[in-house]
Chains A and B, each alone.
Chain A
């Protein structure tokens, strides 16, 4: 029992040190997120869509990759954009890219998992955001 207690304390200390080492990165990313959020406001996205499905989908995916913050606001906004007639392709690509790609957290991701992982994952997620948007929209039209 005494040995297990010391081992548990060691586990807490080890995990605590990991979190503490992450703090400079976390604070840095949070600062960047705040700047992105205010200087690149999400409300401006409606102006980006021009009515061309292909270009709007690409635009949606690019915009989603850049915008920062909690995606709940994007869900509400996208719902309203959909009501306004923006294509589901574009809206979906935007939401998926927002949730799977992160420009602001790339430095942190690189720090933990390396450049190759981070760049490959984000590029694949960008491609997949467009493919999933297309797949969902086309499947919905068929069913």
Chain B
């Protein structure tokens, strides 16, 4: 188990190393553009930090208050509509870049969350509540309601397919 964790960590640093090499190469090719890219990356990183703190708090509370059998009951493969509702609602209200939530989802997965509900959470993140006013402005309320309906329906289908195939 420890060897697996060390290998995992090593692979992650290899990935970081590769992206750093790519970035340095791009600086040599076009320094002006790449510096703009780095400035953009820095802005994203600063935006992510509060999200990571929120994720840390949620993970701590879940780990402290919910035992594995409770998580399995709420979010396991047999949790049914209850599990789907929790995963879908959590995905909709989650904020920030998708990868900030991977550590939490991974921990829940290890505690019994079904892989289908991980997919549901990731899919329903596409329903961004703060951006609904923009959709209303450009496309109208009928569009928003129909789009919301199909996104929820598809997230349910996606979850089921993932549970069967993975």
| Residues of A bordering B, CB below 8 Å | 7-8, 11-12, 14-16, 18-19, 21-22, 24-35, 37-39, 69, 71-72, 75-76, 78-79, 82-83, 88, 92, 96, 99-100, 102, 105, 107-109, 111-113, 116-117, 120-121, 124-125, 128, 131-132, 135-136, 139-140, 143
Looking at the complex, which one of A75, A111, A136 makes contact with B8 (CB distance below 8 Å)? A111
Given contacts A18-B59, A72-B128, A82-B139, 9 further A-B contacts (CB under 8 A): A19-B56, A29-B99, A37-B37, A38-B33, A38-B40, A39-B26, A82-B138, A99-B126, A128-B157
Q: List 18 A-B contacts (CB under 8 A).
A: A15-B60, A16-B56, A21-B12, A28-B15, A28-B20, A29-B97, A29-B99, A33-B41, A39-B26, A69-B44, A79-B134, A82-B139, A96-B126, A96-B151, A99-B126, A113-B102, A117-B115, A124-B161
Residues of A within 8 A of B103 (CB): 18-19, 21-22, 112
A116 to B165, CA, bound (A): 9
**Cβ-defined contact, A38 with B34, below 8 A:** yes
Number of interface residues of B (CB under 8 A): 70
For the complex, is B93 an interface residue (Cβ under 8 Å from A)?
no
A37 touches B40 (CB 8 A): yes
- A-contact bits for B104-137, CB 8 A (1 contact / 0 none): 1111010000010011001101101001001101
A26 contacts B48, CB within 8 Å?
yes
CB-contact partner of B11 in A11, A96, A111, A143, under 8 A: A111
Q: Ordered nearest first, which 10 A-B pairs have the shortest CB separation?
A: A79-B138, A34-B41, A99-B126, A15-B59, A34-B37, A38-B37, A11-B63, A28-B19, A11-B64, A24-B16
B86 interface residue per 8 A CB criterion: no
Which residues of A sit under 8 angstroms from B34, Cβ to Cβ? 35, 38
**Least distance between B102 CB and chain A CB atoms (Å):** 5
- B140's nearest neighbour on chain A, judged by CB, is A140
A-B contact count (CB 8 A): 190
Whether B23 sits at the interface, judged by CB under 8 Å, is yes
Q: Nearest Cβ in chain A — how far from B7, in angstroms?
A: 11
Q: What is the CB-to-nearest-CB distance from A30 to chain B, in angstroms, rounded to a whole number?
A: 5
Contact of A24 among B13, B23, B138, B162 (CB under 8 A): B13
**Contact (Cβ within 8 A) B26 A109:** no
Cα distance, A83 to B109, chains bound together (Å): 43
Find A75's partner among B40, B64, B134 (CB 8 Å cutoff).
B134
- Chain B residues closer than 8 Å to A15, beta-carbon distance: 56, 59-60, 63, 107
Instruction: Determine if A100 and B64 form an interchain contact, defined as CB atoms under 8 angstroms apart.
Output: no
Which residues of B lie under 8 Å from residue A37 when comparing CB positions?
37, 40
Cα(A7)–Cα(B63), bound, Å: 10
Q: Given A11-B64, A30-B48, A131-B154, decide whether A75 and B131 contact each other with a Cβ distance below 8 A.
A: yes
Chain B 84-107 interface 0/1 with A at a Cβ cutoff of 8 Å (1 = within): 000000000000011110111111
List the A side residues contacting B9 at CB < 8 Å: 21, 24
